[in-house]
Amino acid sequence: MSLDISGLGHAIVDLQFKIDLPFLKILRKLNIEFGAMTLKDINGQQELLRYLEENSPNPLKACGGSATNSIIAASSFGSNCHYSCKVSNDELGRFYKKDLDTNNIQNNILPEDSINPSGQSIIMITPDAERTMCTCLGISETFSENDLDIQGIAESKYLLMEGYLVTSDSSFKACNKAIKVAKDNKTKIAFSLSDLNIVSAFHSRMMEIINSDLDIIFCNQSEALSLTKKNSFELALIDMQGLAKTTFITKGKMGASICDENKVHQIKGVKANAIDTNGAGDMFAGAVLHYLSQGFSAQEAAKFGCFAASKNVEFFGPRLPKQRFIDIINSY
């Protein structure tokens, strides 16, 4: 196969702000849940932006989205990657396309003239390194089967799909079509649950994807608890076994658990001075898929994933600079 990993997800441009704890009053006023992702329309998001620009006028900007972050990480480590998504022909959409091209991500993006804006996520980081997101999906919500690059999926060793895709009818159908294409071409399928609120609100759709015989699931502890509807992680682990051939569950500074059909393996965490946890799970998934695509075992891949994520949380911003990826490889 000519490609290592093909990604599928919402095209979201990230704007990242630092906020202090008193700003949480504004979040409550706007019905934005602290520590999670809240979906808003463009008007709701603009209202939040007005408050933020008064307090923190210079946000960091990068193309994002859960699967995008993972694909860029894998590409930065050396994997040959591809991405399918949808943007408008506006400033954000053109920025997104250029950013993917700059990061050597093959793509089929043709910015589309539309009344819907390109997707945008406002990411707010508090002093405790916790991240809160407010996302307007924009045109990415209309991502459909017609936007899939069938050849890109067929020529990849792995397909990575993000959980956010279950939030709209058209993108959910696109997921199911992508799964069929992957299976027909022996492309292994990885699915990231992406967000606690999405797992809870779209549980039946999540399970429909999971029940399609996945090779890999990525999630964190909270998402595992929500998916299994269990009140302890130990019970959730039992239920997670068998949902995919391999499931990687991140546990922050405690490392990760790997569930296969027969056993649970524990991977130790790597000590880090965390200042920004945004994107740590995406980094883990990208690092793991990079290692897997190069022929390493699941345990070896998870160890590298934990190491890469530990370096990610020590940097403030939506994405590590290129040199940081090189440093991770050289210091591992």
Cα four-point dihedral sign 252, 222, 225, 65: negative
Say what the pLDDT of residue 156 is: 98
What's the mean pLDDT when you consider all of the chain? 93
> What is the tens place of the pLDDT at every residue in 129-150?
888 999 999 999 999 999 999 9
Closest by CA to 137, choosing from 97, 164, 174, is 164
Give the per-residue pLDDT at 147.
94
Domains of the chain: 3-11+65-116+142-331 (3.40.1190.20)
- On the question of pLDDT at 67 being above 90, the answer is yes
User: Could you say which DSSP state residue 317 is in?
Assistant: S
pLDDT(309) > 70 = yes
Among candidate residues 31, 28, 280, the one with its CA nearest the CA of residue 131: 280
Is residue 297 within 8 Å of 286, Cβ to Cβ? no
For the ranges 103-107, 255-259, 274-278, 310-314, the lowest mean pLDDT is seen at 274-278
Confidence of residue 211 (pLDDT cuts 50, 70, 90): very high
pLDDT value at residue 129: 87
Give the integer Cα–Cα distance in Å for 294 and 247: 19
d(CA 2, CA 90) in angstroms, rounded, equals 32
pLDDT at 318: 66
User: What is the pLDDT, as a whole number, of residue 313?
Assistant: 92
State the Rg of the chain over Cα: 18
Per-residue pLDDT at 320: 87
Helices (H) and strands (E) in the chain, counts: 13, 14
For residue 218, the cross-strand partners are 192, 248
Does residue 1 or residue 292 have the better pLDDT?
292
Question: What average pLDDT score do residues 269-298 get?
Answer: 94
The stretch 28-34 carries a mean pLDDT of: 94
C-alpha span between 45 and 38 (Å, rounded): 10
Kindly give the residue spans of alpha helices, DSSP state H, lying in the chain: 24-29, 42-55, 66-77, 91-102, 150-154, 169-184, 196-201, 203-210, 221-228, 233-240, 280-293, 298-312, 322-331
pLDDT over 90, % of the chain: 84
pLDDT at 36: 86
The confidence score (pLDDT) of residue 275 equals: 87
**Of 61-65, 192-196, 303-307, 323-327, the least confident:** 61-65
- Model-level pTM? 0.92
If DSSP codes are grouped into helix, strand and coil, which group holds residue 247? strand
> 307 or 54: whose pLDDT is higher?
307
Look at residue 17 and give its three-state secondary structure.
strand
pLDDT in tens, 86-121: 999 999 999 999 999 999 999 988 888 999 999 999
* pLDDT score of 294 more than 90: yes
